[in-house]
Amino acid sequence: MLLRFGTDGIRGVANSELTPEIALVVGRAAARHLGDAGFLVGSDTRISGPVLKGALSAGLAAEARLVVDVGVVPTPGLAWLAARRTMPGVMVSASHNPFADNGIKLISSSGTKIPDATERAIELEIDRLVGSTVAGEPVGKIVDGRGAVAEYAEHLAVAAVIPPGSRLHVVCDCGNGAASSVAPKVFGGLGLEVEFVGATPDGVNINAGCGATRPDFVGGEVVRRRADLGIAFDGDADRMIAVDHTGGVVDGDALLALFAFDLQARGLLDNDAIVVTVMSNLGLRRALAAHGIGVVETPVGDRFVADALQRDGLVLGGEQSGHIVFRRDETTGDGILTGLKLVELVCRLGRPLAELAGEALTRVPQTLRNVVVADPGRLDDAPAVWQEVAFVERELGDSGRVLLRRSGTESAVRVMVEADSADAVDRAVRRIVAVVERELGSA
């Protein structure tokens, strides 16, 4: 078994790295460690989804488990259903990746991502099961549960309260992914002018030039249609990026600032703190501090954010990439919910998103470079790389910072530098990237 759990489940090229045979074994291993009765399974709109979901379901049923196939569903929708029904879930999705990739995300019966220790146990189980067979075991059932997605849509429909008489023109980009089957129903009931793009999935156009990783697409549509704002989801709709009426991007950091200040003003920001990841811009931290709002920092990954929210009794957290967790509403990041909350906030305050976001924080110049390398696993034991990082950190002093980490989803090293000077950021990134490529092998 070559695939292992990364930042967000198992991921690889469908039918090549992530094969039906592997999916079947993952299903069997998950059944042995996550639940004694039933499982919910879902997928996004990738062409490989039905094949992998079918194999995965077969593995679960081979271990005498009931399998409820809810069809195409956002990952947060499956998590919400898992918590509501107290059943673990398995999502077949590669999130923001191109259509050729796919993945498997495991969700606990509490609606949360499973802990590291459980992932390791399942990996060991997978290794033991490869090539084995099930003999003499009772067979479980696979049943159609597609109606459950309507329950999730109904839950979202009451998550935003739009003030009477509100007038807002919104463009919603579904990324040709899982949001395509839910967002039109939910946003269409707000009584606002909402137009949808990227909502005609064909199995291969998911995330293709659209969605949360390409906010320029929805930005162009907002400008062309003279809308007030736009929102874009990734393939499994667990994150959202917004744009204002000029097409300017409003990322997860800006959204966190807006939501934090609004919750604080209404007395709803428990313990006057929020959760962010190590990737959050220094400008966000400064803006929060100016409002007396504390910060709890976690590694990258919305499951770490969710864990910290639960542990510290906080209600808001998220990532720069657009994973935002509202703990009062759900257990994980939900792009559609975030979009609803943003539309409600803009309507309630009666001001353009561009003004609100511009006042929320002053962003510090930041560059994130994904360096594709031959062997990212050697990063921890590459002294020349860390010597260069230490030198750059000394040069930047208190006005900036450097973050290096292996990607959890790609064969790459992520290099992030931020500082008050854009020129200093550019020089630092070029120097560190050159050493990373030299030491780890440019792919």
Q: Is residue 345 part of a domain?
A: no
State yes or no: pLDDT of 377 exceeds 90: no
Within this chain, do residues 233 and 303 fall inside the same structural domain, yes or no? no
Minimal CA–CA distance to 108: which of 313, 303, 319? 303
Within this chain, do residues 274 and 183 fall inside the same structural domain, yes or no? no
What is the rounded average pLDDT of the residues 28-46? 93
The pLDDT-based confidence of 409 (bands split at 50, 70, 90) is low
Regarding predicted confidence, which is higher, 323 or 300?
323
- In the chain, the number of structural domains is 4
Within this chain, do residues 74 and 172 fall inside the same structural domain, yes or no? no
What is the rounded average pLDDT of the residues 92-110? 95
Task: Give the range of the structural domain holding residue 199, as residue numbers without chain letter.
Answer: 152-247
Residue ending a domain, choose from 85, 115, 147: 147
What is the rounded average pLDDT of the residues 352-366? 95
Q: Is residue 339 part of a domain?
A: no
Q: Is residue 30 part of a domain?
A: yes
Within this chain, do residues 137 and 168 fall inside the same structural domain, yes or no? no
Within this chain, do residues 378 and 258 fall inside the same structural domain, yes or no? no
For 277-317, the pLDDT digits (tens) are: 999 999 999 999 999 999 999 998 888 999 999 999 999 99
Within this chain, do residues 391 and 275 fall inside the same structural domain, yes or no? no
Within this chain, do residues 216 and 272 fall inside the same structural domain, yes or no? no
Within this chain, do residues 111 and 28 fall inside the same structural domain, yes or no? yes
Within this chain, do residues 140 and 156 fall inside the same structural domain, yes or no? no
Within this chain, do residues 112 and 17 fall inside the same structural domain, yes or no? yes
Q: Is residue 225 part of a domain?
A: yes
Instruction: Kindly state the DSSP code that residue 420 receives in the 8-state scheme.
Output: S
User: Residue 160: in which H helix or E strand, if any?
Assistant: none
Q: According to the model, what pLDDT value does residue 4 have? A: 74
Residue ending a domain, choose from 247, 265, 295: 247
Within this chain, do residues 243 and 258 fall inside the same structural domain, yes or no? no
Q: Find the angle CA(117)-CA(377)-CA(98) to the nearest 5 degrees.
A: 85
Catalytic residues: 95
Within this chain, do residues 160 and 220 fall inside the same structural domain, yes or no? yes
State yes or no: pLDDT of 1 exceeds 70: no
The pLDDT-based confidence of 406 (bands split at 50, 70, 90) is confident
Q: Is residue 142 part of a domain?
A: yes
Q: Are the beta carbons of 176 and 200 closer than 8 angstroms? A: yes
For 248-263, the pLDDT digits (tens) are: 999 999 999 999 999 9
pLDDT over 70 percentage in the chain: 98
What is the rounded average pLDDT of the residues 219-224? 98
CATH number for 390? 3.30.310.50
Q: Is residue 340 part of a domain?
A: no
Q: Is the four-CA dihedral 245, 246, 247, 253 of positive or negative sign?
A: negative
What is the rounded average pLDDT of the residues 417-429? 94
Q: Is residue 347 part of a domain?
A: no
Q: Are the beta carbons of 409 and 415 closer than 8 angstroms? A: no
Minimal CA–CA distance to 346: which of 271, 254, 218, 268? 254
Minimal CA–CA distance to 23: which of 71, 97, 93, 114? 93
Q: According to the model, what pLDDT value does residue 130 have? A: 83
